[in-house]
Amino acid sequence: MVRFFNNLRIGEKIGLTTVSLGIVHALEQTGVKVTFFKPVAEKTPGSDYADLSTAILNETCNIPTVPPLDQNHAERLIAASKGDDLLEEVIGRLEAHKSDAQLIVVEGMVPNRDITFANRFNLEIARTLGSQVVFVGTPGHRGAAEILERMKIASNYFSGKNGCTVAGCIINKICVDQDDTEDLPVIVSDIAPPTTVTREQLEEQFGKDEMKLLGAIPWNRAISAPRVCDLTKYLGANSINTGESQTRRIRNIKMYAAALSENEFVAGTFIVTPGNRSDVLVAAALASMNGVDIAGILLNDNRLPEPAVMDLCAEAMAGGLPVLSTSADTWSTASALQNFNLSLAVDDFERSVYS
């Protein structure tokens, strides 16, 4: 008999995609014949794919996936009060593609202001399939007791009279130290606010309750960082030197409009500066040549350094330092960075495997 696990998000920016992928990979490694299913595709801003989770598995491994239904089609059925028809289509597609799976991991829809029917739809899917529901959340600024209470509230909606079996919960991004986020740009630090909650505290708290703690995943700053090529694509920046854009990761962003100070550059720094700031470009190139793993440099304001300055940076660029340019001014660039979507890129194999 096929078993189903339905992963559902509780809260914002909890990393549902990476947790779902991690569960799939873990099951595969134990020899279980696992299939992944996202019932309705959810478009990720900035992505060319209909559904990110399904696309990542299709691109990076041989794990079978069930093609999701189109989101617009699902919304039209819901708007026409044809929720039962939508449910039938989902089940029919699953039956047609589940092949010889022993276990199917179902990633629930993410509730937001654009998908108001998500919670009810997730409930109906879980109830129809007889899934074991797994809640996925993050500590945020909560303590262990508050986290447990939050999971129990979610459990009450699915269990009891609604007839779903709750397997337990997974808490992602625990043990995030303040020191590990204070130098990050808002776009990165916001996905993992500082927390003092530890695995031991969670195990102690959940050990007193029927709600099971299935896993507690520490936040890994390194694999949470996007690549330079991801930011290049998002900004539509021009590449002066592609270098190691596919592998260098952005762990913090520094924007320069004033004078440089000592010890400005650390590993993973992505530098944003006007193109006429030759001092910043040369200093970064020297740091790179001296072994500091600079993520990359973005020259804005539609300005480029003099050829003589670029010659001084030639060795660093030959060593892989990415250098980009954009016509946007500093303010526009900073605003764009605030909205950079940190979702896992389909071709980012390292993050998809180790997240």
Tell which residue, 19, 13, 57, 60, has the closest CA to residue 37: 57
Report if residue 244 sits inside a domain.
Answer: yes
Decide which of 196, 219, 242 is a domain's last residue. 219
Confidence (pLDDT) at 146: 93
Tally of structural domains, the chain: 2
49 and 189 belong to one structural domain: yes
Helix (H) or strand (E) holding 218: strand 213-218
287 and 269 belong to one structural domain: yes
12 and 104 belong to one structural domain: yes
pLDDT tier at 69, thresholds 50, 70, 90: very high
- Name the average pLDDT for the chain: 83
Rounded alpha-carbon distances, angstroms, from residue 57 to 9, 16, 34, 141, 225: 19, 14, 12, 32, 20
Confidence (pLDDT) at 185: 47
Report if residue 351 sits inside a domain.
Answer: no
281 and 210 belong to one structural domain: no
The C-alpha atoms of residue 39 and residue 37 are separated, in whole angstroms, by: 6
In this prediction, what percent of the chain has a pLDDT beyond 90? 34
Report if residue 349 sits inside a domain.
Answer: no
Report if residue 66 sits inside a domain.
Answer: yes
In this prediction, what percent of the chain has a pLDDT beyond 70? 85
User: Which CATH number belongs to the domain containing residue 204 in this structure?
Assistant: 3.40.50.300
Domain containing residue 169: 3-219
Q: Which residues contact residue 318 at a Cβ distance below 8 angstroms, ignoring those fewer than 6 apart? A: none
240 and 107 belong to one structural domain: no
Report if residue 354 sits inside a domain.
Answer: no
| pLDDT, tens only, 171-185 | 998 876 545 544 444
Report if residue 352 sits inside a domain.
Answer: no
Report if residue 350 sits inside a domain.
Answer: no
Q: What is the mean pLDDT of residues 83-108?
A: 90
- Considering Cα of 183, then 186, then 191, then 195, what sign does the dihedral take? positive
192 and 244 belong to one structural domain: no
Confidence (pLDDT) at 189: 46
User: Which CATH number belongs to the domain containing residue 298 in this structure?
Assistant: 3.40.1390.20
Decide which of 219, 247, 277 is a domain's last residue. 219
| pLDDT, tens only, 9-52 | 887 777 888 888 888 888 888 999 999 999 998 876 656 667 77
| Token output for 307 | 């050829």
Report if residue 348 sits inside a domain.
Answer: no
Q: What is the mean pLDDT of residues 315-335?
A: 90
296 and 253 belong to one structural domain: yes
In sequence order, what DSSP letters do the residues of 107-137 get, joined into one string? EPPPPBTTBTTHHHHHHHHHHHHTPEEEEEE
254 and 273 belong to one structural domain: yes
Decide which of 198, 219, 240 is a domain's last residue. 219
Q: What is the mean pLDDT of residues 71-95?
A: 91
